[in-house]
Amino acid sequence: MGKSRIEEWTQLRGLAFMAIVMQHSIAEYIYRADIQPADSIMLTMIYHLTRFGTPTFVFLSAVLMFYKYGEGVRYFPFIRKRFESVYVPFLFWTLIYWLYVHVFTPQFWQIGGRDWGSLLRELFIPQIGYQLWFIIMIVQFYIFFPIMAVIYRSVRSRLEPLNEKRRNQSVLAIIAVTGILYMMLLYLSYYQMGSWSEKLGNPWSEMIQYRSYSFLMYGFYFVMGAVCAANIEKWRTWCMKLLPWSGLVFLGMYIKMGYDVIRGSGEVVNLNISTYLKPSTFIIIVAQMLLLYGLLMLLQPHSRKFTRLLAWMGRYSFGGYLVHALVIYAIAYITRPLDLGGYHMLFTLLTFILTVLASLGISYTLSHVPSLSWTVGAGRRKPRQGTSQESEFRKEAPALR
């Protein structure tokens, strides 16, 4: 018998997927030359409501791994399964995005005009399929997960003999210490590492430049996933008890981040001020994740239609994540030649809605075609009663890293 299915994880994935699509829809319009200040400010406000997207999928990836394999894992079967369900679709969609850009250029059809080197670079540093960088990052987590699982079991074995009070205090201490260390890492990343990159030569300079591709830069969210997987009921209780405080922290940081971006931008809004690898962004993300988790727990018995919709979106969101940038490209092909002065907010919302619908529709269709289901994560079979069918997928991509 497999472990029981945790409904709120799939629902949270659906919310995170929508946040990711909204971020990339905003990125398509907010930097256009004809945008008006009112639209820039409104899109910035919406943008800061979506910062939880990528870290939430890091958290979900970790919690699913520790929940299913925390007590033991056979390394090579584990890696093979992850490779088939995550990396193989990445290879396929990387080729699709590369072809989308290159086949429409005349040079591509000339002898020697195919830039295969750029395709090779896309496999390590995705740029065309800008959201695919996340797959590169999460695969690193899979490679090192068995080591993390050993640490996880060791910590659990030391905490289990303690009484509940001491155990809670120990877990909170672990969260606090790792949170402080992670804040220090983010401080160095945001305020110091840029200058290091200029001083150091290759390969260190490039490693620092592309540090957002490293799973170490998202380490705290893996710790959160491990804590949640260790005691789901306790995690649910904490999230619900913290609701007033997580809401207040989120509201305060939301105001601060909006002010920082508007103050720090020139004529064009600079959303990179709110990068994931910034201490203040980290605070709002954690607060929002705890807030959303608590709210989902409150909604479970009262809004079944809404939670079922979120769960459906979560089930097909991996394929939707892989394809959604291509849908945005297709929409942009129509909208970029247009003069949208005064309508950027409206077109962003329309792009968001169309992209969510089209991406999930494509994912749903591909998952039900046996010969193509591997392109969206090795199929989306109906979960059997009493088993856990959570797909360990990971999502988002800051086009605005």
Element (H, E) at 265: none
192-208 burial string, b = 16+ CB within 10 Å, else e? ebeeebeeeeeeeeeeb
* φ, ψ for residue 309, nearest 5 deg: -65, -45
6 Ramachandran zone, left/alpha/beta (phi>0; psi -120 to 50) = beta
- Rounded to the nearest 10 degrees, the angle between the axes of helix 7-29 and helix 37-47 is 160
What SS3 state is found at 165? helix
**pLDDT surpasses 60 at 238:** yes
Extract the tokens encoding 127: 């740029």
Q: Match 């919310």 to its residue by tokens.
A: 15
**Mean pLDDT, to the nearest integer, of 116-127?**
88
pLDDT recorded at residue 192: 84
Residue (of 211, 208, 199, 65) closest to 133 by Cα position: 211
Extract the tokens encoding 118: 């750029």
pLDDT recorded at residue 105: 67
**pLDDT surpasses 80 at 198:** no
Q: What is the pLDDT of residues 372-388, one digit of tens each?
A: 999 998 554 544 444 33
**Mean pLDDT, to the nearest integer, of 337-351?**
93
Of 95-104, 151-160, 211-220, 345-354, the least confident: 95-104
N-terminal to C-terminal alpha carbon distance within the chain: 42
pLDDT recorded at residue 113: 59
Q: How far apart are CA 362 and CA 355, in angstroms?
A: 10
pLDDT recorded at residue 110: 56
pLDDT recorded at residue 387: 39
pLDDT recorded at residue 101: 86
Q: Classify residue 321 by burial, with Cβ atoms within 10 Å: 0-12, 13-18, 19+.
A: buried
Contact call for residues 27 and 399 (beta carbons, < 8 A)? yes
Question: 393 or 327, which is more confident?
Answer: 327
Residue (of 381, 377, 350) closest to 89 by Cα position: 377
Element (H, E) at 70: none
pLDDT recorded at residue 18: 97
- pLDDT-derived band at 103 (thresholds 50, 70, 90) equals confident
Q: How far apart are CA 232 and CA 235, in angstroms?
A: 5
Extract the tokens encoding 135: 């797959």
pLDDT recorded at residue 115: 73
**pLDDT surpasses 60 at 61:** yes
What SS3 state is found at 144? helix
**Mean pLDDT, to the nearest integer, of 12-26?**
97
What SS3 state is found at 267? coil
Taken in order 246, 249, 253, 255, the sign of the CA dihedral is positive
**Mean pLDDT, to the nearest integer, of 33-46?**
92
**pLDDT surpasses 50 at 325:** yes
Contact call for residues 239 and 290 (beta carbons, < 8 A)? yes
Of 18-27, 96-105, 327-336, 387-396, the least confident: 387-396
Contact call for residues 390 and 3 (beta carbons, < 8 A)? no
Mean pLDDT of the chain, nearest integer? 88
pLDDT over 90, % of the chain: 69
pLDDT recorded at residue 254: 96
Q: How far apart are CA 215 and CA 203, in angstroms?
A: 18
**pLDDT surpasses 70 at 344:** yes
Q: How far apart are CA 194 and CA 329, in angstroms?
A: 31
**pLDDT surpasses 90 at 48:** yes
pLDDT recorded at residue 195: 77
What is the Cα gyration radius of the chain? 21
Q: How far apart are CA 370 and CA 372, in angstroms?
A: 6
Residues in the chain, how many? 401
- The DSSP 8-state label assigned to residue 376 in this structure reads G
Q: How far apart are CA 286 and CA 105, in angstroms?
A: 44
At position 154, the amino acid (one-letter code) is S
- pLDDT-derived band at 400 (thresholds 50, 70, 90) equals very low
**Mean pLDDT, to the nearest integer, of 358-384?**
82
Contact call for residues 84 and 391 (beta carbons, < 8 A)? no
